[in-house]
Amino acid sequence: MDTQKKVEKYNRIVVLMLLLIVAIPAIVLSTGDFSPHKLIIQDDVVKVGVESFKVEDIKTVKLLENIDIDYRIKGTRTLTYLRGLYSVKGESQDATVYIYRDKSPYIRIELEEGLLIYNDKNNTDTKKTYEKLVNLKSTNM
């Protein structure tokens, strides 16, 4: 009888360990957002994530080497990126942010009604996106 109890206890421990091995990665993968964000320009509309605005709504476009994000108001903050509404030090209003952490430069887009801070995963793509936005803005003036 002692042997039977030991086998049952051992089986419970093995099942529990297997559940943990499967459950922990499943939880991490289901709660993580691994999709990249990308700024897309179609005709006279700019889209990034769930945000969209008309090119004519752009007041200014600046390329910044540094950005000082203060705190998250709502959105996502991971080790890789920030997305959502954030307070930005030095700005008079909160900003919609779609940035990869520590991947400068950053594009600051001031809109008629809001502020957007954006960058791509690599600095070359960010600079290309910035040039596209500047060219769009200048052709729509």
User: Residue 124: pLDDT band by 50, 70, 90 thresholds?
Assistant: very high
CA triple 117-109-32, angle to 5 deg = 25
- Which pLDDT does position 36 carry in this prediction? 84
Instruction: Determine how β-strand 58-64 pairs with β-strand 106-111.
Output: antiparallel
Tell me: the pLDDT tens digits for 25-82?
777 666 555 678 899 998 889 999 888 999 999 999 999 999 999 899 999 888 889 9
| Global model pTM greater than 0.85 | no
pLDDT over 70 percentage in the chain: 93
Q: Which residue has the tokens 């605005």?
A: 53
Q: Rounded to an integer, what distance in angstroms lies between the CA atom of residue 26 and that of residue 96?
A: 30
User: Which helix H or strand E contains 2, and what residues bound it?
Assistant: helix 2-31
User: Residue 111: pLDDT band by 50, 70, 90 thresholds?
Assistant: very high
CA triple 120-123-129, angle to 5 deg = 55
**pLDDT of 116 over the 70 cut:** yes
Q: Which pair of tokens denotes residue 49? A: 């994530």
- Which pLDDT does position 78 carry in this prediction? 86
CA triple 91-80-90, angle to 5 deg = 10
